[in-house]
Amino acid sequence: MLIASIITTSISQVLLILFVFMKGRRNLTNILFSLIGAASLAWALCSYFSIVLLDSPYLLIVVRLILFCVVIQNTFFLLFARTFPDAQWGHSKKWLSIYLSASFVVALSTLSPLVFTRISATDITAIMEIGPAMLMFVAHAAYSIGFAFKVLIAKFKKSSGSQKLQLRLLLIASVLVWVIVPFTNFAVTPLLGTTFFVEMSPLYTF
């Protein structure tokens, strides 16, 4: 299941990234969507290695890379939500500067012991010791995802025709990736002590 999930996700993501980017190499919305796809592909591959290297000393590095990819995904998701479908920045330069700076700091913190201090693995799952910067990671995720959904819902209510259909599909897909995946991976998985949802999560991006 895990191999099939990764292969399906990787192929679909690469094809999607190439298609969207080539359709609008100078279009801001296309560029941001392609960056989300690239970050999602990196996250899926890291998720794969987190299962394969469950009893490896490199597991902590892989888990930190997963959170790093999550920060990148969340950042580009919010920027994409604010530019779609007009391909224009829907925010001030001051807000953009502050948000990108904060995202950069949070992304770097995920690669350090500040978010995950240490990790110990069992036969089926891993137990992680949380560091002081985990709250910062959670706050960034909540702000990015919450704000993005707020923006998309507001645009959906004001839209009509084909644009309304696009936004409806985007919202449905976004719920799978930015709501169900975090819930199953960070809440259900530790609670049940199984890697099943981690193995399945790359398929959500498909």
**Highest mean pLDDT of the ranges 67-71, 167-171, 193-197:** 67-71
Q: pLDDT tens across 73-112, in order? A: 999 999 999 988 776 776 788 999 999 999 999 999 999 9
What tokens does 169 get?
Answer: 């599909």
pLDDT for 142 beyond 90 = yes
pTM > 0.75: yes
What DSSP string describes 135-178?
HHHHHHHHHHHHHHHHHHHHHHHH--HHHHHHHHHHHHHHHIII
- Which residue, among 41, 47, 43, 97, has the nearest Cα to 71 in the 3D structure? 43
> H-helix or E-strand containing 21?
helix 2-23
Predicted pLDDT at 87: 65
Radius of gyration for the chain, computed over Cα atoms and rounded to the nearest angstrom:
17
d(CA 41, CA 163): 27
